[in-house]
Amino acid sequence: MSTWRDNLRTIEPYVPGEQPNLPDMVKLNTNENPYPPSPKVVETLKNFDCDSLRLYPDPNSQVLADALAKCYGLQSDQVFLGVGSDDVLAIAFMTFFNSKKPILFPDITYSFYDVWAELFQIPYERPALDDHFDLIPEDYYKENGGVVIANPNAPTGVLQSLDFLRDVIEHNRDVVVIIDEAYADFSGSSALELTKEYDNVLIVQTYSKSRSLAGMRIGYAIGNPELIRAMNDVRYSYNSYPMTRLSVALGAAALEDEAYFRETVAKVIETREWTKKELKRLGFSFRDSQTNFIFATHESVPAQTIFDVLREKHIFVRHFGQKRIENYLRISIGTQAEMERFIRETEQIIAQNR
């Protein structure tokens, strides 16, 4: 006997990268930031009023909503907060995608999108990326129940232009278009300004990558107050206190240190550019990544071999094994020293397996 809902018996859960804990490991498999959170965050944590944890948090997480609004020049009612952007995206799916028409997102993108669609029984279609891993605009002109675009896309790392996004939004004025900007801070481009022009656009961002706070689980959406109100109504219908007191305090503290944020993002980008050159030298090819990872394939050595041997050496990268990208590895950008070790080991693997 199964007590599961019928459509969930065969659901394929999204399996994130491993979270091993070895003293000498180089962890390049889940796109975390290799640098610690800002000293302001550390100071706030040290001075945190632990007695306050007896009490439930503010259900509106107002301090953090206000801090984010100030940071982006918005009103607080344009900001929705969640427990990581996964939570924010899942609530957006629940709130906006209930139509009988399929929602659209590309086949290859963040693999949680199909999991949520299955979970919430939302029909979906996945137009294929072109041969260069770009989205094809016309694929998003057909009638649909909503559109989701990760920009830059994951795991490909490819950035679509603002003109591309504008074009897709113009063709989809009567549904919600979600733009998942988990990696946008590493690309120098964001579609945030489009929320001023279009009331059907929801931008989703996270503290997990550029703000070095994956462990706190803080994500947010920015959009028209009507979209935000709808999401809050859904959210409070099942979880009245989404953000902890600690995540609110640390999230607000991180925003106070813009200089640190810029500095760590610049360091990751510098190391990314160095790693690209080294990977090219070793015979890898890839689209020009605009994220904190590189999605690369080698001209002669299979991705699985490189993945396995690196793993034995406690260097963790990501291999998806999915059709069309089975020969690719997604390599997060670590510190310069970590990437040097990764390149040294990879060079040896290639020399031994050519």
* Type of residue found at 55: L
Q: Which of 124, 114, 98, 126 is nearest to 12 (CA)?
A: 114
Token pair belonging to 26 = 């180089």
Q: Which of residues 205-224 bind ligand PMP (CB under 6 A)?
A: 206, 208, 214, 219
Q: Spell out the alpha helix ranges (H) of 38-161.
A: 39-46, 62-72, 84-96, 112-119
# residues near ligand PMP by CB under 6 A: 12
User: Considering the rule CB under 6 A, would residue 182 count as an interface residue with ligand PMP?
Assistant: yes
User: Considering the rule CB under 6 A, would residue 110 count as an interface residue with ligand PMP?
Assistant: yes
Token pair belonging to 294 = 């590189």
Q: Which is nearer to ligand PMP, 191 or 343 (CB)?
A: 191
Minimum distance from residue 83 beta carbon to ligand PMP (Å): 8
Among 103, 154, 159, 301, binds ligand PMP (CB under 6 A): 154
Strands 201-206 and 219-222: antiparallel
Q: Which is nearer to ligand PMP, 25 or 214 (CB)?
A: 214
Q: Which is nearer to ligand PMP, 214 or 246 (CB)?
A: 214
User: Considering the rule CB under 6 A, would residue 271 count as an interface residue with ligand PMP?
Assistant: no
8 A C-beta contact, residue 213 and residue 260:
no
What is d(CA 174, CA 199) in angstroms, rounded to the nearest whole number? 10
Minimum distance from residue 335 beta carbon to ligand PMP (Å): 20
Q: Which is nearer to ligand PMP, 309 or 329 (CB)?
A: 329
Q: Which residue bears the tokens 């050519």?
A: 354
Minimum distance from residue 103 beta carbon to ligand PMP (Å): 16
What is d(CA 237, CA 296) in angstroms, rounded to the nearest whole number? 43
User: Considering the rule CB under 6 A, would residue 202 count as an interface residue with ligand PMP?
Assistant: no
Stretch (H or E) spanning 170: helix 162-170
What is d(CA 320, CA 3) in angstroms, rounded to the nearest whole number? 31
Minimum distance from residue 318 beta carbon to ligand PMP (Å): 10
Minimum distance from residue 2 beta carbon to ligand PMP (Å): 29
Minimum distance from residue 113 beta carbon to ligand PMP (Å): 9
Q: Which of 211, 218, 214, 223 is nearest to 186 (CA)?
A: 211
Q: Which is nearer to ligand PMP, 83 or 350 (CB)?
A: 83
Q: What is the DSSP letter of 178?
A: E
String of contacts with ligand PMP for each residue 77-106, x by CB under 6 A: -------xxx--------------------
Q: 3-class DSSP state for residue 315?
A: strand
User: Considering the rule CB under 6 A, would residue 139 count as an interface residue with ligand PMP?
Assistant: no
8 A C-beta contact, residue 292 and residue 31:
yes
Closest residue to bound ligand PMP by CB: 84
Token pair belonging to 172 = 């989809």
What is d(CA 326, CA 135) in angstroms, rounded to the nearest whole number? 19
Minimum distance from residue 41 beta carbon to ligand PMP (Å): 16
Q: Which residues are CB-neighbours of 112 under 8 A, at least 6 positions away?
A: 14, 86, 89
Q: Which is nearer to ligand PMP, 150 or 203 (CB)?
A: 150
Q: Which is nearer to ligand PMP, 261 or 345 (CB)?
A: 261
Q: Which is nearer to ligand PMP, 44 or 85 (CB)?
A: 85
Q: Which of residues 292-351 bind ligand PMP (CB under 6 A)?
A: none
What is d(CA 120, CA 319) in angstroms, rounded to the nearest whole number? 27
Minimum distance from residue 183 beta carbon to ligand PMP (Å): 7
Q: Which of 71, 147, 76, 137 is nearest to 105 (CA)?
A: 147
Q: What is the DSSP letter of 172?
A: T
Residues lying near ligand PMP in the complex (CB under 6 A):
84-86, 110, 150, 154, 180, 182, 206, 208, 214, 219
